[in-house]
Structure 1
Amino acid sequence: MTRDTTAVVTGLGLVTSGGTDVASTWASVLAGRPTAAHDPEMQGLPVDLSCRVTALDHPVLSWPGCAHLDPYTRFGLVATAQALEQADLPGSGWDPARVAVVGGILFGGTRAQDTASARLAADGPDRVSPYFLTGYMANMLGAAVSLHFGITGPGLSVTTACASGTTALGVARDLLALDHCDIALVVSSEAAVSRLIMTGFAQVGTLSRHGSHPFDADRDGFVMAEGAGALVLERPAFAAARGAAPLARLIGYGAATDAHHLVAPQPEGRGLEQALRTALADAGVTAADVGHINAHGTSTKANDRIEGTALRRVFPHRPPVTSAKGALGHTLAAAGTIEAALTVLALNAGKVPPTAGLRQLDPGIDLDVVSGTPRTLASGIALSTSAGFGGHNAVAILASA
């Protein structure tokens, strides 16, 4: 028996440096507007550029427990609330036991960790807050979402470094296909712009001193960013029965591991290629059917070149490619979910956003990377790619509703 693995997207939520809701983030990305700025809190480090979330405000933050939560959890709660509002949930047909929450995470509560470490060093253990652990633990994003919205179905937190947001989509899709739930909330969040984490990435040599310029000949690394993304996924029959209007369909997913190096991607992009081909087969479409690629596009020398090589092999027809990281920076674990949401928006608007920061395409990258102004999207199928330290690769394929 063949199991239908298609899921429909019925709600989106975004909190980014480009804006604290879907409309403002989309406008920022569509305009190709970089958000990187020198960060006073990072002054004196080798790199002090970041993309911060500012002026976050939403009724969900009035929940009393929010005061003790790390920013990464608050970002995720707001994104989830937005997505549920758009999906008209909770509503008729909402059974909390049939709703799953899948969180994509990497660092967890770095602000909570930094505060507790400083108090321990300066004043001793009595000054460490009893709320430290619930602010710091990586699973608290999903736990807070479940607690606030009264969700009692499966709750999972997945981490595949900077591929976590896309991996979470695949896990949520499978929970729906296996009939473990009717609705799956996918939420990924990151607020890891801290002096320690920034120093760690600087030591590895991945951060930019000049801004994010994906696929550009003069790119020199990514800009650390904060942000969160959320998607509501439903089984198609369930969404139809409750009268929900699908925004898009999640039709394919693929994942693969490089098994090459702890931080460096496989030089020929074989892991990413495997994930791409797996996703295409899963979706039952050909490479030629894909009309747009939202690339991982980190703006590092190695990633962009290797990703470009893999995409060129799989998609010789050269569909238009963009990277949101030129505008929003690299949101690490949240990137895949944010970029999947942007891919849904591109399908609905019929527009491929430009790659902010791209001035001169690297001559060694044979891709049709959109720059300057948006491009018309001529196809109803698009995909989003993600990769992460540890050799993780994940691909989601989305189609018009």
Structure 2
Amino acid sequence: MSASDVVVTGLGATTPLGGGVEETWDGFLAGRSGVSALEAEWVERFDLPVKIAAQLAVDPTEVLPRVEARRLDRSEQVALIAARQAWQDAGFGDDGVEPERLGVVVGTGIGGATTLLHQDDLLEQNGLRKVSPLTVPMLMPNGPAAHIGLEFSARAGVHAPVSACASGAEGLAWAWRLLQSGEADVVIAGGAEACIAAITMAGFAQSRTMSTRNDEPERASRPWDVDRDGFVLGEGAGIVVLEREEFARARGARVYARLAGVGMTADAHHITAPDPEGTWQAKAMEAAMRSGGIDPAAVGHVNAHATSTQVGDVTETVAVRKAIGDHPVLTAPKSALGHLLGAAGAVESIITILAIHHGVIPPTANVDELDPGVSLDVVTDEPRKMDLEVAINDSFGFGGHNVALAFSSA
């Protein structure tokens, strides 16, 4: 089967800004923050220096039936919620695509660590009989992808890329490859993460990568601002339905945008720090444009990974200038969402898709004074209306993973 254009027909999300895509998008445009003070007892018990996080606006237990929720890790819960939204948004009912032509690629950075910790506590305190027989299916990193595959009877392959904070974007990239190769007609793709827990908070705090602006939670995540002091941990899921264009057109599907090209590289530089030259981040963007036949001059917008760390934020802008030039307009969703780790690249791809679809770029919050090392146009304060032909979403992860996704107008 010959290569095909890949189109986006369905969107689903549950995030710190809302329980769905529309609420999340509206929250961005309104400049709301999803970051708040943590009230869990372990914050004080362990005297954590970081006492804030970007928690879900709508708890999964408010959406899922009680029995179903109890059988799923929180990362699996959010993945299913977002997948069901995306499938419905794409206009599929109980049928519409043969199972052997439907695939799933949903990544996660950490997976079911909270299940692992909880079940280990039960084992230590109460013995073997209290450990759930569902422990392994709940803790395995492929759990979110597997449950979505079961839900929709996907038999063209169910995959779970694990590449830290680039996992969700890799989900879309590998889905694009499945569709381009003709191995599937439809792929449910994205990422999920829900691991706001004592051990993750403590680990990130010890590495001094998280903001300690505890007295101003909503102002803590501040990409590119001179006073940024680290990221804010978040949770959520983003799922998109991708289709071969001819398949989508044949069934009369609404198309949000095209996933025109993808690029994936690795820094091979350091386990957590990016290559300060931004060379391989730039090459990922170049690969995305090359695979989509895109002229860099056509790229009007970059939805940046920008986590609010001192080194990473500026390095990315260096990479953008290398790969594309000085003309793209930038925004950073983590200023409102926090950092959703394995879900970040998927949720931020949805924001990129909607920016193209609606012709408006959401603002970056909390930029009081732009870092002088950032010599690019950053949208702040108010949304900016802009007709976009092409926009790129960047996602990078510990381990040196770089993923760039190039979206174009429908």
2:236 corresponds to 1:227? yes
Within 5 Å, which residues of 2 pair with 1:1-400?
4-41=3-40, 42-43=43-44, 44-56=47-59, 61-62=64-65, 64-90=67-93, 93-210=96-213, 211-400=220-409
Deviation at 1:168, TM superposition (A): 1.0
Deviation string 1:150-199 (CA, Å, 9 cap, x unpaired) is 22221111011101111111100111111111100003100011100111
In 2: Cα distance, 1:182 partner to 1:63 partner? 34
Given that residues 6 and 252 in structure 1 are in contact (C-alpha distance below 8 angstroms), is that contact kept between their aligned partners in structure 2?
no
Per mean C-alpha deviation after superposition, the further-off stretch among 199-208 and 40-49 is 40-49
CA positional deviation for 1:317: 3.3
Q: CA deviation digits over 1:266-318, x for unaligned, max 9?
A: 01111101101111111111111001110001000111011111112223232
> In terms of mean alpha carbon deviation, does 110-119 or 205-214 score higher?
110-119
* Distance in 2 of aligned mates of 1:103 and 1:154: 11
Q: Work out the percentage of aligned pairs sharing the same amino acid.
A: 40
Cα distance in structure 1, aligned partners of 2:62 and 2:184: 27
What's the secondary structure of 1:250's corresponding residue?
strand
Q: Counterpart of 2:117 in 1: which secondary structure?
A: helix
Amino acid at match of 1:365: V
CA distance in 1, matches of 2:366, 2:113: 28
Query: Using the alignment, how far apart are the partners of 2:191 and 2:130 within structure 1?
Result: 31
How far the C-alpha of 1:13 sits from its partner, in A, is: 0.3
Instruction: Note the alpha carbon deviations across 1:77-121, whole angstroms, 9 max, x for none.
Output: 010001001111135532112100001111111221221122122
The answer on whether the counterparts of 1:12 and 1:341 sit within 8 Å (CA) in structure 2 is yes
TM-score (norm. length: structure 1): 0.96
Q: Structure 2 CA distance, aligned partners of 1:152 and 1:316?
A: 42
Question: What amino acid is aligned across from residue 355 of structure 1 in structure 2?
Answer: T
CA distance in 2, matches of 1:92, 1:68: 26
Moved more, 247-256 or 64-73: 64-73
- Write out per-residue CA displacement over residues 231-251 of structure 1, whole angstroms, 9 at most, x where no aligned residue: 000000011111111111000
Which has the larger displacement, 188-197 or 87-96?
87-96
Where 2:25 maps in the other structure, the secondary structure is helix
Structure 1 distance, partners of 2:201, 2:115, is 16
* Aligned-partner Cα distance in 1 for 2:79–2:133: 22
Q: Contact (CA 8 Å) 1:191, 1:226: kept in 2 or not? A: yes
User: What does the per-residue CA deviation read over 1:192-231, in whole Å, with 9 as the maximum and x for residues that have no partner?
Assistant: 1110011111111111112100111110100000010000
Conserved 8 A contact 1:34-1:357: no
TM-score (norm 2): 0.94
Deviation of 1:32 after TM superposition, in Å, equals: 1.9
The one-letter code matched in structure 1 to 2:70 is: A
* CA spacing shift, 1:329–1:263, aligned 2, 3 Å: same
Q: Which amino acid aligns with 2:294?
A: V
Residue 171 of structure 1 aligns to which amino acid in structure 2? W
Give the partner amino acid of 2:344.
Answer: A
Using the TM superposition, name which of 41-50 and 237-246 deviates more. Answer: 41-50
